[in-house]
Amino acid sequence: MLIEVLLKPKPFVKWAGGKKQLLKLIKERAPYSYRRYIEPFVGGGALLFELLPKRAIVNDINEELINAYLAIRDNLYELIDSLKQHNNSEEYYYYMRSLKPNELNRIERASRFIYLNKTCYNGLYRENSKGEFNVPFGKYKNPKIVDEQNLRAVSYYLDSEDITIICSDYKEVCHMATSGDFVYLDPPYYPLNRSSSFTKYTRHDFTEKDHTELAYIFRELDRKGCKVLLSNSNAEFIKNLYKGYIIEEVEAIRAINCKGSGRKKSKLEIIVRNYYT
Ligand SMILES: C[S@@+](CC[C@H](N)C(=O)[O-])C[C@H]1O[C@@H](n2cnc3c(N)ncnc32)[C@H](O)[C@@H]1O
C-alpha cells in the first residue's frame, strides 16, 4: 500500500513583499481565535500557509496568481505533468514569456506562470502598461521548477478545508467580512524612497489615494467587529492614516542599493492592529 506523507504547505511562488522576514512577528500577533481568516492581498500566502486556517477567504487582483491557486487545487496532476515539460534555457524562457495567457487553458496558464516565477530574475512579477509580464530571464543554475511535494500539500490544504479563492479588488472581499473574522491586510508597500521600492504587481499601481481608502476600510472593518492586522512600510504618511490603533515599528532588512550589495537593518516596517489578543 502506498502511503503519501504530506508536508506542511508553503508558498508555491516567490513573491515580492512576501512576508518571510516579518512572518514570526505577525504570527505572534495573530488573534488566538477567530471565525474566518480573510486575506484580501494574498500574494504568495506566507501567513495563510503558516496559520492554515480551516475557514478562509483569500483574494488577489493578479489573475495569473489566482488561476495558479485554482489549478493547484483542481488540476494538480495535469499541472505537475505540464511543469515537468519546461526547461531552464534562455531561449525557451523568452518563448514562454511571449505566450498570451488568455490564449492558454487554465493548466497551461498556471504552468507558464509558475515556470516564469521560478526562472525569472528574482522571482518578480511585473507587468508593462499592456498587462504583459516583462521580467528578464534569471540565469539560475538549477531552479526548482516542479516542487511536487509542496504542490501536493498546497492542493490538499486548499481542497480539504473551507477555503474560498477570489480574484477581485480587495474592497469586494473586505465587504464580505463580518463580526469575529480576522482580516490580514498586506497591501503593496507605500514606497519609503522612490528608487528602491517595488509596488507595482500588475499594471494597476497602488497609489496614495488607494492607501487612504484602505485606511478607511480598516476603520469600517473595526466598526463591524473584525480583528484587523495590517503590515506596511514605516512611513509618516501611513502612520498618520492609522492614528488611534496599535502601531508597532518593526525591524526588517532591505537592500539599500539596486545591486543589493548594501544591506541595512532598521525599523522599516509597521504592524498595525485594532485588538490585543
Ligand atoms: C505585499 S503583496 C502581498 C504579499 C503576501 N502577503 C505574501 O505573503 O506573499 C501585495 C499583493 O496585493 C495585490 N494587489 C495589488 N492591488 C490590489 C487590489 N487592488 N486588490 C487586491 N489585491 C491587490 C498584489 O497583486 C500583491 O500580490
Please indicate whether residue 60, judged by its CB atom, sits closer than 6 Å to ligand 1: yes
Mutate to test the pocket of ligand 1, among 22, 41, 59, 197 (most ligand atoms within 8 A of CB): 41
**What's the 3-state SS for the chain?**
CCCCCCCCCCCCCCCCCCCCCCHHHHHHHCCCCCCCEEECCCCCCHHHHHHCCCEEEEECCCHHHHHHHHHHHHCHHHHHHHHCCCCCCHHHHHHHHHCCHHHCCHHHHHHHHHHHHHHEHHHCCCECCCCCECCCECCCCCCCCCCHHHHHHHHHHHHHCEEEEECCCHHHHHHHCCCCCEEEECCCCCCCCCCCCCCCCCCCCCCHHHHHHHHHHHHHHHHHCCEEEEEEECCHHHHHHCCCCEEEEEEEEEECCCCCCCEEEEEEEEEEECCCC
* Dist. CA 203–CA 220, nearest whole Å: 28
Q: Is 181 in the pocket of ligand 1 (CB under 6 A)?
A: no
Question: Whole-structure pTM over 0.85, yes or no?
Answer: yes
Q: Which residue carries 486556517 as its cell?
A: 53
Q: Grade residue 256 by pLDDT with cuts at 50, 70 and 90.
A: very low
Ligand 1 in reach of 62 Cβ (< 6 A):
yes
Ligand 1 in reach of 138 Cβ (< 6 A): no
For residues 60 and 43, the answer to whether their CB atoms sit within 8 Å is yes
Backbone angles phi, psi at 244, to 5 degrees: 100, -15
Lowest mean pLDDT among 57-66, 101-110, 129-138, 191-200: 191-200
Q: Which residues pair with 273 in a beta bridge?
A: 229, 246
- Superfamily, domain 62-164: Adenine-specific Methyltransferase, Domain 2 (1.10.1020.10)
Which protein residue's CA is at the shortest distance from atom 12 of ligand 1?
A: 41
Tens of pLDDT, residue by residue over 141-192, are 999 999 999 999 999 999 999 999 999 999 999 999 999 999 999 999 999 8
Distance 49 CA to ligand 1 centre (A): 16
Dist. CA 186–CA 42, nearest whole Å? 8
Report CA(32)–ligand 1 centroid distance (Å).
24
- Amino acid, single-letter form, for residue 220: E
CATH code assigned to 23-61+168-273 = 3.40.50.150
In this prediction, residues 57-74 reach a mean pLDDT of 97
CA-proximal residue: ligand 1, atom 5 (nearest):
43
Cβ of 38: how many Cβ atoms within 10 Å? 28
Q: Which residue has the higher pLDDT, 125 or 93?
A: 93
Average pLDDT rounded to a whole number, residues 64-91: 98
Average pLDDT over residues 119-147: 92
d(CA 116, CA 111): 9
Domain boundary assignment for the chain: 23-61+168-273, 62-164
What's the pLDDT tens digit per position in 9-30? 999 999 987 777 799 999 999 9
Distance, CA of 182 to CA of 38 (rounded, Å): 6
Nearest to 192 by CA among 109, 85, 110, 264: 264
